[in-house]
A and B are shown apart, each in its own frame.
Chain A
Amino acid sequence: MKTLPALATVRDWLDEIEDPEIPALSITDLGIVRDVRYVDDVLEVALTPTYAGCPATQVIRDDVERTLRARGVDRLRITERLAPAWTSEWLSVRGRERLHEYGIAPPHAAAEAGLALGPIASAIVRCPRCASGETREQSRFGSTPCKALYRCDACGEPFEYFKPH
């Protein structure tokens, strides 16, 4: 009988898979790998979507399948776990550093969005290029569901902010 790869090894393999929309992040940085375990000799990987309609979800699922099969995992089941819902709190510390280096401001603490009117009160979003706090929200929606559009008044550059969610 074939020896099954250790779960720690499987996690290392998963950590090599890039997020298709923000390749600076691995899928484990993003916090969407919720569980890796064996059920008998079947490897089960539980993934959670960031946003319900994020088109990257299917691509990630395919990437996980392809990566693990290439490593010789032939008994594999990938499941979708919706609860608890993904939150940007699950981004790893390394993931936050990588976002910053990539030019995307990492998210502040995610508060319950609630029903309050007006702009979402949050800590100062620093420009990832010049570190100024003189920044403005241009749009709460950006090029992907997880990002908002900001502009730095100090250096004049637009940038993206990974939304606290």
Chain B
Amino acid sequence: MTEAAVPARQVEVTEEERVFVASQWQLMWWRFKKHRAAVIAAWVLVFLYVIAVAAEFFSMAHPEDVETSIGYLAPQTIHWFDSGFHPHVKAVSGGIDPESFQRVYETDPDDKIPVHFFVRGFEYKFLGFIKIDRHLMGVPEGYDRAGPYVLGTDRLGRDMWSRLMYGTRVSMSIGLVGVGISLLLGVSLGGVSGFFGGITDTVIQRLIEIVRAVPTLPLWMALAASVPRDWGPLKLYFAITIVISLFAWTDTARVVRGRFLAMREEEFVMAARLAGASTARVIFRHMVPSFASHIITVMSLAIPGMIIAETALSFLGLGLQAPAISYGVLLQAAQNLQAVALYQWLMVPAIAVTVAVLAFNFMGDGIRDAADPYSQ
């Protein structure tokens, strides 16, 4: 054989080679798209967060409008057609049955209350600064009550649908805010642990082991119970979120620490250090971005736990308090078995919780599979 090795003939650029040049995020995205359940879950979450952002717009009545005369009204059906497209609900009237002391409502089939799109209703600030009074649907002005009550009303006659919209805002955002806080805790503690190693690492590792070995709910309950009852809704909201985050950072910390330990030895970190970058800069500019996908996975799987925690605490009466509205606060009404048996629609927030948690789990699974290049 001579010196000149036979050159391989170049095969044209193939699908396979497109994969070679794709960035890590592109690869993840392609893989994620293949995971059908995760994609559906992601859309469900987009939908829920749109509601969270524009809860007022989706509300059909003010969530605090008390109208005891229609307490425990069953969900109304919207009739869409009536010689053409004329959405309406049938008017109801009712009172208390003298024998059973239960509320009885009668529907008047001829008294039709129209339901319009983009109607004027109570005024609110969209996104916090745009003052408008339009709502997606509702009964136009000139009729004596709001509605339609598509999910019925609670004991005080407040519209469950609108309350659910507001509850979605609070419960879904607690998940995000809580994960944000626990992420901060987890990345800092995990990063410090993995970056410095030695005694710092040992102490933080033991701390993680202790936190993980302890049943969290009793501690949550105790901490939540120690929040002063006279705090306003916003203060309470952040207090409860912080309480929940205090025990939810360990997963993030473990992932971050593991990655840090692996990465401490890698060359690009050494290069950054030799170039004179500060420790903080090395951590946040060079190391954190390189395992962002792991962090996103852990986060998306941690959010449902937060939502459940808030719901559980509020349900027990230790979390958010009325007038705040969250899934847990709404479900307090479902604690009374007699009430639930008669007025099943009080359980609807439970479905909302389950859907939200399920969606996060599926999406988190999809992200995990997509982020892990060695998974199948």
Q: Do A and B come from one complex?
A: no
Binding site for B on A (CB under 8 A): none
Binding site for A on B (CB under 8 A): none
